[in-house]
Structure 1
Amino acid sequence: MKVVVDQVKCVGSGQCVMVSEEVFDQRDEDGVVVLLQEEPAEDQHEGVREAARVCPALAIEIDE
């Protein structure tokens, strides 16, 4: 799995961080998503999928 985030689309809701804090974080100054792991471990895949599903801006893309 490879994860790509679009920081331009991100609205800073933080849903991704709440679902998968090992893979996603937010910038302190504006709350925009920061990708911590471009290729997360297999045990993190479901959390990443859920983060992509709940992202209100559709700023997370997953390449399986």
Structure 2
Amino acid sequence: MRIIADTGRCVGAGQCVLIEPELFDQSEDDATIIVLNETPEGELVEKARQAVHVCPSQALSLED
């Protein structure tokens, strides 16, 4: 699985970072998403799914 982030859609809400700071961070310039680990494994896979689900701008998606 791979995490895809569309920084053009990101509104900087930070919900993904709150769910899993090992996977996501925010840019200091505009607060848009930075994916720290594009290919999570183990329990981080479920955290990635949660982040995709709660993203208010739907800037995150998963690819198999």
For this structure pair, what is the TM-score category when the shorter chain's length is used for normalisation? over 0.9
User: Where does structure 1 lack aligned partners over 5 or more consecutive residues?
Assistant: none
1:42 paired with 2:57, answer no
**Aligned position for 2:18:** 18
Q: Distance in 1 between matches of 2:5 and 2:46?
A: 17
User: Where does structure 2 lack aligned partners over 5 or more consecutive residues?
Assistant: none
**Aligned position for 1:61:** 61
Cα deviation for residue 51 of structure 1 reads 0.3
User: Mean Cα displacement is larger for which, 3-12 or 37-46?
Assistant: 37-46
3-state SS in 1 of match to 2:7: coil
Q: Distance in 1 between matches of 2:41 and 2:26?
A: 20
Equivalent residue pairs, number: 64
**Aligned position for 1:32:** 32
Q: Distance in 2 between matches of 1:16 and 1:51?
A: 5
3-state SS in 1 of match to 2:51: helix
The percent identity for this pair of structures is 38
User: Mean Cα displacement is larger for which, 38-47 or 48-57?
Assistant: 38-47
Q: Distance in 1 between matches of 2:33 and 2:16?
A: 8
